[in-house]
């Protein structure tokens, strides 16, 4: 047994700080270091197969999914070299699993020893425990220590009086040459528990330490303000400037989060998230075009049919955009944008990479209790550097991949459409950009977005007291959404039985400007802040300038905002600038056709 203990101790290099530094910890072991500084390793504890085999067996590294697993398993039955590599892999796997088991289950790391542990997180927790009650900790870590769901317990703990500062940097200037230039890291400073800090300093998106000299880049937040912004996780918001922090805090003081966990009344929309099909685990259910055509299926629009058998298209996130479920179509190599000219035909439907049996889709939806012919979904990939961040839209009842999670809930069709409209507003998108540190719009982030409650839409529109906000919004949402026959079910549930509406870019721009101006008012955002917010979407501006010679979107939004503000002040009903007017039959398609593919 002693020999085994000696081997384990050597292999895992256990280290006891109080034994190694008795003069620092004292007889009772309650001391600590006055100053702790470090830059711990940033690595996942879980063994990465591709990395392990990258130099040892390139064919395994190049393989993916099931094929890689097959090649690894074959090593055990291979020649002497293969068996030796298999043994090395098993040893590395066991070491990684044992380390993860210790970090997760020993109780040594209660805050960060969770899930697929990254070494930087447990080092952060370790270093915090080494600081004397009146000491200081300074450490370089990925910014995820403050923004990720897996480390939320750690950040919640230090935000209650220990956090001195967090300065976030992008590695654009190659401070760490071996790390990708888009990677984000931070300088985190903590205080000992007996030196409490009331307000912590923050700075984000810095590229050089000289950026910290800019007073607009640095701002302070109290722990209560952090809790206001992220009540479920207590994680850190991400602001580029003091002004953005002030605007966002103002929104959260007026508007609740979508789902407040631990509160019986904290989910007024009754939202539940659902990933319908996993692109990896469910791949055995997916069928390509050649395969189905080889089985004598016929393509009808973007649906394959053979007698009573039906295969529905599998939508991926890149195929949709705000108020547009026909954004992309598979061209045989990749998913490309559908031309506007094609979308002017209401029969146009985008082609997917794969199709899934309609019976399988219905089975999964039956479990979810969903009865509508359409869904509300959102892109799971969301970057603050893209044209828009939160990209949500209504799609037909088809197969949907995990990159396009669904928001199912127990409200009526009008409420679901209104929720989708609010998620597509610039007002909400601006706030979302302050909260997304990576490239994934995780459920925990969506839950903490500021979303107007359903009761808001029952109120009278201040710019037109003759109608409720819902009655004012629904015709606009309907016209923007119902541009193709495959969403006829939605139109009928919203009370419209006519043909789809024309995909007219300028008319759609005016409709969207009205919606955005409406939501800016509903979120209580001042006119000067609307002007500022619109300038934080540079890609939208560049696209407009290239297409129209001006930042058209901003001008239209501000014009509609001003018109609504004037109507509210004078009590004269707001006048819609659309021609033909909203609800006029001329706005619908003149020659509705039969659904077909691009």
Query: Best-predicted range by mean pLDDT among 83-97, 204-218, 472-486?
Result: 472-486
- DSSP H or E segment with residue 35: strand 33-38
Burial of 559 (0-12, 13-18, 19+ CB in 10 A): middle
Q: Which residues contact 247 (CB under 8 A, 6 or more apart)?
A: 430, 525, 529, 532, 533
What are the distances in angstroms from CA 490 to CA 84, 104, 281, 496, 498?
60, 47, 31, 9, 12
- Locus of tokens 């892109």: 379
Q: ω before 107 within 30° of 0 (cis)?
A: no
**How does pLDDT run across 187-203, given as a tens digit for each residue?**
999 999 999 999 999 99
Over the stretch 527-545, which tens digit does the pLDDT of each residue have?
999 999 999 999 999 999 9
pLDDT score, position 594 = 44
Residue 117: exposure state from Cβ atoms within 10 A (0-12, 13-18, ≥19): buried
3-state secondary structure of 181: coil
Q: Cβ neighbours of residue 312 under 8 Å, at least 6 residues apart?
A: 303, 355, 356, 357, 358, 361, 398, 399
| Count of C-beta atoms within a 10 Å radius of residue 510 | 20
The distance in angstroms from the start CA to the end CA of the chain is: 70
Q: Spell 234-259 as b/e; 16+ CB within 10 A means b.
A: bbbbbbbbbebbebbbebbeebbbbb
Query: The whole model's pTM is what?
Result: 0.86
Q: What is the pLDDT of residues 154-177, one digit of tens each?
A: 999 999 999 999 999 999 888 888
The DSSP 8-state label assigned to residue 361 in this structure reads H
| Tens digit of each residue's pLDDT (9 = 90 or more) over 83-95 | 999 899 999 898 8
């Amino acid at each position: 047994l002693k020999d085994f203990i000696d081997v384990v101790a050597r292999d895992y290099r256990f280290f006891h700080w109080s034994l190694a530094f008795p003069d620092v910890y004292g007889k009772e072991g309650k001391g600590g270091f006055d100053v702790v500084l470090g830059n711990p390793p940033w690595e996942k504890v879980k063994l990465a197969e591709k990395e392990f085999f990258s130099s040892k067996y390139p064919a395994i590294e190049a393989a993916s999914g099931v094929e890689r697993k097959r090649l690894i398993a074959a090593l055990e039955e291979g020649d002497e070299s293969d068996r030796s590599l298999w043994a090395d892999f098993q040893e590395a796997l066991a070491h990684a699993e044992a380390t993860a088991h210790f970090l997760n289950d020993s109780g040594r790391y209660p805050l960060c020893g969770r899930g697929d542990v990254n070494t930087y997180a447990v080092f952060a927790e370790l270093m915090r425990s080494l600081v004397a009650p009146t000491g200081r900790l300074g450490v370089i870590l990925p910014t995820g220590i403050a923004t990720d769901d897996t480390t939320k317990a750690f950040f919640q703990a230090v935000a209650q009086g220990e956090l001195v500062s967090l300065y976030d940097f992008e590695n654009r200037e190659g401070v760490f040459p071996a790390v990708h230039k888009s990677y984000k890291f931070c300088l985190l400073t903590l205080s000992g528990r007996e030196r409490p800090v009331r307000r912590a300093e923050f700075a984000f998106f810095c590229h050089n330490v000289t950026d910290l000299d800019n007073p607009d880049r640095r701002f302070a937040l109290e722990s209560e303000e952090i809790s206001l912004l992220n009540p479920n996780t207590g994680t850190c918001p991400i602001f580029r400037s003091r002004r953005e922090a002030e605007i966002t805090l103002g929104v959260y003081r007026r508007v609740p989060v979508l789902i407040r966990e631990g509160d019986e009344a904290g989910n007024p929309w009754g939202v539940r998230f659902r990933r319908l099909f996993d692109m990896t685990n469910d791949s055995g259910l997916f069928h390509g075009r050649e395969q189905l055509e080889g089985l004598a299926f016929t393509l009808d629009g973007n649906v394959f049919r053979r007698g009573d058998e039906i295969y529905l298209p599998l939508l991926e996130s890149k195929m949709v955009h705000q108020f547009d479920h026909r954004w992309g179509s598979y061209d045989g190599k990749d998913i490309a944008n559908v031309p506007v000219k094609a979308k002017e035909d209401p029969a146009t439907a985008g082609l997917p990479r794969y199709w899934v049996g309609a019976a399988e889709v219905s089975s999964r939806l039956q479990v979810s209790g969903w009865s509508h012919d359409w869904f509300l979904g959102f892109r799971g990939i969301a970057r603050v550097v893209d044209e828009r961040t939160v990209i949500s839209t209504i799609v037909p009842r088809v197969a949907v991949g995990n990159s396009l999670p669904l928001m199912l809930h127990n409200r009526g069709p009008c409420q679901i459409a209104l929720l989708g409209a609010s998620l597509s507003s610039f007002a909400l998108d601006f706030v979302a950009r302050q909260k997304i540190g990576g490239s994934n719009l995780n459920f925990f982030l969506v839950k903490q977005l500021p979303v107007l409650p359903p009761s808001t839409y029952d109120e009278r529109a201040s710019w037109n007291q003759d109608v409720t906000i819902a009655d004012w919004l629904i015709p606009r949402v309907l016209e923007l959404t119902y541009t193709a026959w495959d969403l006829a079910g939605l139109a009928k549930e919203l009370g419209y039985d006519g043909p789809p509406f024309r995909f007219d870019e300028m008319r759609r721009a005016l409709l969207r400007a009205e919606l955005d101006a409406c939501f800016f008012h509903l979120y209580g955002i001042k006119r000067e802040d609307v002007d500022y917010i619109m300038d934080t979407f540079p890609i939208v501006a560049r696209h407009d300038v290239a297409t129209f010679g001006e930042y058209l979107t901003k001008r239209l939004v501000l014009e509609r905002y001003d018109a609504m503000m004037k109507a509210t002040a004078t009590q004269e009903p707001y006048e819609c600038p659309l021609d033909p007017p909203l609800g006029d039959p001329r706005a619908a398609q003149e020659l509705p056709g039969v659904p077909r593919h691009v």
